[in-house]
Amino acid sequence: MGMRAALFVLATMGTGVASAAAAGVTADTLTTDLKRLIATATMVVAYLIFCAVIAIRHAVRHRMPTAAPENDRGAPAVLVAYASQTGTAEELARSTFRALEAAHVPSRIVSFAHLDAVTLTRAQIALLIVSTTGEGDPPDAAARFAAA
């Protein structure tokens, strides 16, 4: 940043635009390079698109249907419960849930954070996918189950 630009920034932050004008610094002197402006605008737009993609992926991942009690053949639903600290066990559970759904096996997916004793005892088939952290400690979502 040039000396004039630094003066402009300091003047506008501390004492207002009138002081900057008195110092002879205008906004025109700060951004004369069109290529820099285009590059900056492109980076800002790319960042916003990146954030939007992450938000959409998160929303789609968590909008997945969670329950299907029984299919036409009367098969019991498979409960897929997961507890993950870094997301690996969650991704494995979601992948398993999608595979069960693709095979037309009724299934339900739930995080240990939302799993209660009633849901667990009603399940005829339960698949529990749990990762460990540190030196074999349970993830935060499974802490109350490990304590019980």
How does pLDDT run across 91-127, given as a tens digit for each residue? 999 999 999 989 888 888 998 888 888 888 888 899 9
Q: Which residue has the tokens 């098969």?
A: 75
Instruction: Give tens-digit pLDDT for 47-97.
Output: 999 988 888 887 777 665 544 444 455 567 899 999 888 888 899 999 999
Residue 17 lies inside a defined structural domain of this protein: yes
Q: Are residue 36 and residue 85 in the same domain, yes or no?
A: no
Residue 67 lies inside a defined structural domain of this protein: no
Where does 86-148 have alpha helices with state H?
88-102, 117-122, 143-147
| Residue 22 belongs to domain spanning | 3-62
Q: Are residue 100 and residue 58 in the same domain, yes or no?
A: no
Q: Are residue 104 and residue 128 in the same domain, yes or no?
A: yes
Backbone angles phi, psi at 9, to 5 degrees: -65, -45
The answer to pTM > 0.85 is: no
